Structure 1
Amino acid sequence: MSSFLLIIFMRFSRKLSCVLCYFLPLVLLISSCTVVKRPPAGKPFVFDNKVTIIGNVDKDEKKRLTNELANYWDDSLYAAKVQQFGVRYVLKDPPVFDTANIARSVSFMKSYLNSQGYYNASFLNPDSSYTFEKKDDEVRTTINFVINPGKSLIINSIYYDLGDTALNRFSKINRKYSAVKPGKTRFSKQVIAAELDREVALFRQRGYFLLTRDNLVAEIDTADLSLLQVTLDPFEQAEKIAAATQRRLENPTAVVGIKKRNFKDSVMSAGDSAFFKRYYIGKIYYYPETGRYDQPDSLVTDTASFKRVPVNAYTLFYKQDKPYVRFRTLREHTYQLRGNMYNETNFYRTLNNFNQIGAWERVDYRTYLRNDTVDFHYFLTPAKKETLGFYVEASRNTGDLLTSGTLIGFALNTTYINRNVWHSAIQSNTTFSNGVEFSFLQNNSLLQTFQSSLSHGYTFPRFILPRFTKPKNPYRLDNIRTRLNTSASYVERKDFYRLRSLIANWGYEWKKKNIFYSVKIPNVELYSLDTLPNLRDEFETNPFLRTSFNTGTVISLQGSALLSYPGKNNNVSNLVRLAAEESGAILGRIKGLQDKIYQYIKFEAEYRKLISQRKSAIALRAFAGIGYNYGKNERFGKTLPFFKQFVGGGPNSMRAWGLRLIGLGSSLSSDTAATFRDRYGDMQLEANAEYRFTLAEFSAVKVGSALFVDAGNVWNLHPNENSPNSNFDFDRFGKDIAIGVGTGLRFDFNYFLIRVDMGIKLKDPVRSANNGWLSIKDFTWKNYEYTDKGAPTRNNYAIQLGIGLPF
Structure 2
Amino acid sequence: MIFVSNSISRQKILGLVGITLLFAACSSVKEFPIDKPFVFSNKISLKNNVGKDEKKRLTLELDNYWDDSLKARKVQQFGFIYRLKTPPVYDSANISRSRGFMNAYLNSQGYYYATFKDSVTIDSVHVKERISGILSKRVPMVQLRTNIEFLIDVGKRITIDSVGFAMIDTLHKPIDSTLQNITLAQATYSLLKKGNPYSKQLVSDELDRLAYLYRSNGYYNLNREDIYALADTLDTKLLTLSIDPLAQVQLINEAAKARKEDPKWRFTIMLKNSNDTLKLKQYHIGNLYYYPDIKNVYYNADSLIARKNFKTSVYKNGVMRFDEDKFGFRPLREHTYLSRGGLYDENAYYKSINKLNQIGSWKQVDAKAVVRPNTDSIDIHFFLLPAPKQSWGIDFEGSRNTGDIGSGNLLGLATNLTYKNRNVWKQAIQSITQARFGFEFNIDKQVANAAPKPFVQTQQLTVSHSYSFPRIIQPFKNWKWLNDKINNLDNKKTIFSAQGSYTNRIDYYQLRSLNLNFGFDYTKGNVSTQFRFPNIELYKVDTLAGLIQLFKDNPFLRNSFRNGNVVGVSLAKNILFSGDDKSKIHNIRLFAEESGLLTSFLPNISDQIFSYLKLEGEYRYLKKYTKDELALRAFVGAALPKNGQTIPVFKQYFVGGPNSMRAWGLRQLGLGSSLSADTSTSGYTDRFGDFNLEFNTEYRFLLATIAGVKVGSALFADIGNVWNIRQDPNNADATLSLKNFGRDLAIGVGTGVRLDFSFFLIRVDFAYKLKDPARVANNGWTDFRNFEWTDTRLNGVKIKNYAFQLGIGLPF
- Asked if residue 340 in structure 1 is aligned to residue 333 in structure 2, the reply is no
- Is contact 1:361-1:382 (8 Å) kept? yes
- Asked if residue 650 in structure 1 is aligned to residue 670 in structure 2, the reply is no
Give SS of 2:674's match.
coil
Residues 245 and 87 of structure 1: CA distance in aligned 2, closer, same or farther (over 3 Å): same
Residues 150 and 378 of structure 1: CA distance in aligned 2, closer, same or farther (over 3 Å): same
Q: How far did residue 90 of structure 1 move? A: 2.5
Number of the residue aligned with 1:557: 569
- Asked if residue 593 in structure 1 is aligned to residue 608 in structure 2, the reply is no
Residues 660 and 337 of structure 1: CA distance in aligned 2, closer, same or farther (over 3 Å): same
Task: Describe how 1:154-169 pairs up with structure 2 within 5 A.
Answer: 154-163=159-168, 165-169=177-181
Number of the residue aligned with 1:357: 359
**Using the alignment, how far apart are the partners of 1:535 and 1:18 within structure 2?**
54
- Is contact 2:28-2:83 (8 Å) kept? yes
Number of the residue aligned with 2:172: none
Q: CA RMSD in A?
A: 2.2
**Using the alignment, how far apart are the partners of 1:197 and 1:379 within structure 2?**
28
Q: How far did residue 405 of structure 1 move? A: 4.9
- Is contact 1:162-1:260 (8 Å) kept? yes
Number of the residue aligned with 2:686: 678
Q: How far did residue 159 of structure 1 move? A: 1.8
Alignment deviations for residues 130-163 of structure 1 (CA, whole Å, 9 cap, x no partner): 3333232222212111211111112222222222
- Asked if residue 432 in structure 1 is aligned to residue 441 in structure 2, the reply is no
Matched residue type, 2:563 = T
Number of the residue aligned with 2:384: 380
Given the two structures, how large is their TM-score scaled by the length of structure 1? 0.91
386-395 or 584-593, larger mean C-alpha shift: 584-593
* 1:223 aligned residue (216, 234, 239): 234
Give SS of 1:25's match.
helix
Q: How far did residue 308 of structure 1 move? A: 0.8
Number of equivalenced pairs: 766
- Asked if residue 135 in structure 1 is aligned to residue 126 in structure 2, the reply is yes
Task: Describe how 1:372-411 pairs up with structure 2 within 5 A.
Answer: 372-395=376-399, 405-411=408-414
- Is contact 1:55-1:150 (8 Å) kept? no
Give SS of 2:253's match.
helix
**Using the alignment, how far apart are the partners of 2:262 and 2:762 within structure 1?**
55
Give SS of 2:90's match.
coil
* 2:749 aligned residue (738, 741, 754): 741
Task: Describe how 1:241-320 pairs up with structure 2 within 5 A.
Answer: 241-262=252-273, 269-271=274-276, 273-320=277-324
Listed as ranges, the gaps of 5+ residues in structure 1 are 1-16, 263-268, 398-402, 633-637
- Asked if residue 62 in structure 1 is aligned to residue 45 in structure 2, the reply is no
**Using the alignment, how far apart are the partners of 1:204 and 1:574 within structure 2?**
32
Number of the residue aligned with 2:133: none
- Is contact 1:30-1:87 (8 Å) kept? no
Task: Describe how 1:311-710 pairs up with structure 2 within 5 A.
Answer: 311-320=315-324, 322=325, 324-370=326-372, 371-395=375-399, 405-443=408-446, 444-468=453-477, 471-473=482-484, 474-632=486-644, 638-674=645-681, 675-710=683-718
* 1:202 aligned residue (208, 213, 216): 213
Matched residue type, 1:683 = F
* 2:66 aligned residue (52, 68, 73): 73
Residues 26 and 781 of structure 1: CA distance in aligned 2, closer, same or farther (over 3 Å): farther
**Using the alignment, how far apart are the partners of 1:604 and 1:404 within structure 2?**
27
Q: How far did residue 720 of structure 1 move? A: 0.9
Alignment deviations for residues 621-650 of structure 1 (CA, whole Å, 9 cap, x no partner): 221211211134xxxxx3211111122222
- Is contact 1:665-1:736 (8 Å) kept? yes
- Is contact 1:542-1:669 (8 Å) kept? no
Alignment deviations for residues 15-67 of structure 1 (CA, whole Å, 9 cap, x no partner): xx999837642552353132322222222211222111123122212211111
162-171 or 748-757, larger mean C-alpha shift: 162-171
**Using the alignment, how far apart are the partners of 1:261 and 1:662 within structure 2?**
70
- Is contact 1:19-1:776 (8 Å) kept? no
Matched residue type, 1:659 = L
Alignment deviations for residues 163-190 of structure 1 (CA, whole Å, 9 cap, x no partner): 263433443443333343321x222111
- Is contact 2:725-2:735 (8 Å) kept? yes
Alignment deviations for residues 510-553 of structure 1 (CA, whole Å, 9 cap, x no partner): 11222111111112111111112222222222222211111211
548-557 or 737-746, larger mean C-alpha shift: 737-746
Alignment deviations for residues 260-291 of structure 1 (CA, whole Å, 9 cap, x no partner): 134xxxxxx332x4233322222111001112
Q: How far did residue 795 of structure 1 move? A: 2.1
- Is contact 1:385-1:418 (8 Å) kept? yes
Number of the residue aligned with 1:806: 811
385-394 or 403-412, larger mean C-alpha shift: 403-412
Q: How far did residue 793 of structure 1 move? A: 2.2
Give SS of 2:617's match.
strand
- Is contact 2:400-2:411 (8 Å) kept? no
Q: How far did residue 589 of structure 1 move? A: 3.2
Number of the residue aligned with 1:176: 188
Give SS of 1:348's match.
helix
**Using the alignment, how far apart are the partners of 1:18 and 1:424 within structure 2?**
74
Residues 208 and 33 of structure 1: CA distance in aligned 2, closer, same or farther (over 3 Å): same
Alignment deviations for residues 180-212 of structure 1 (CA, whole Å, 9 cap, x no partner): 3321x2221111112222222232333323322
Q: How far did residue 129 of structure 1 move? A: 2.5
Matched residue type, 1:331 = R
- Is contact 1:700-1:750 (8 Å) kept? no
- Asked if residue 730 in structure 1 is aligned to residue 732 in structure 2, the reply is no
**Using the alignment, how far apart are the partners of 1:404 and 1:804 within structure 2?**
23
Give SS of 2:366's match.
strand
Number of the residue aligned with 1:720: 728
Matched residue type, 1:434 = F
Q: How far did residue 506 of structure 1 move? A: 1.4
Q: How far did residue 503 of structure 1 move? A: 1.3
Matched residue type, 2:619 = Y
Given the two structures, how large is their TM-score scaled by the length of structure 2? 0.91
Matched residue type, 1:450 = Q
Listed as ranges, the gaps of 5+ residues in structure 2 are 1-9, 128-140, 169-175, 447-452
Number of the residue aligned with 1:265: none
**Using the alignment, how far apart are the partners of 1:725 and 1:258 within structure 2?**
69
Matched residue type, 1:694 = L
**Using the alignment, how far apart are the partners of 1:204 and 1:216 within structure 2?**
13
Percent of aligned pairs with the same amino acid: 45
Residues 211 and 609 of structure 1: CA distance in aligned 2, closer, same or farther (over 3 Å): farther
**Using the alignment, how far apart are the partners of 1:610 and 1:261 within structure 2?**
44
Residues 30 and 390 of structure 1: CA distance in aligned 2, closer, same or farther (over 3 Å): farther
**Using the alignment, how far apart are the partners of 1:755 and 1:303 within structure 2?**
54
- Asked if residue 772 in structure 1 is aligned to residue 780 in structure 2, the reply is yes
Q: How far did residue 494 of structure 1 move? A: 1.5
**Using the alignment, how far apart are the partners of 2:40 and 2:370 within structure 1?**
58
Residues 540 and 22 of structure 1: CA distance in aligned 2, closer, same or farther (over 3 Å): farther
Number of the residue aligned with 1:796: 801
Give SS of 1:488's match.
strand
657-666 or 423-432, larger mean C-alpha shift: 657-666
- Is contact 2:709-2:756 (8 Å) kept? yes
**Using the alignment, how far apart are the partners of 1:181 and 1:793 within structure 2?**
68
Matched residue type, 1:32 = A
**Using the alignment, how far apart are the partners of 1:611 and 1:492 within structure 2?**
42
Number of the residue aligned with 2:113: 120
Give SS of 1:226's match.
helix
Q: How far did residue 317 of structure 1 move? A: 0.8
Q: How far did residue 593 of structure 1 move? A: 0.7
Give SS of 1:503's match.
strand
- Is contact 1:544-1:723 (8 Å) kept? no
Matched residue type, 2:349 = F
Q: How far did residue 779 of structure 1 move? A: 2.1
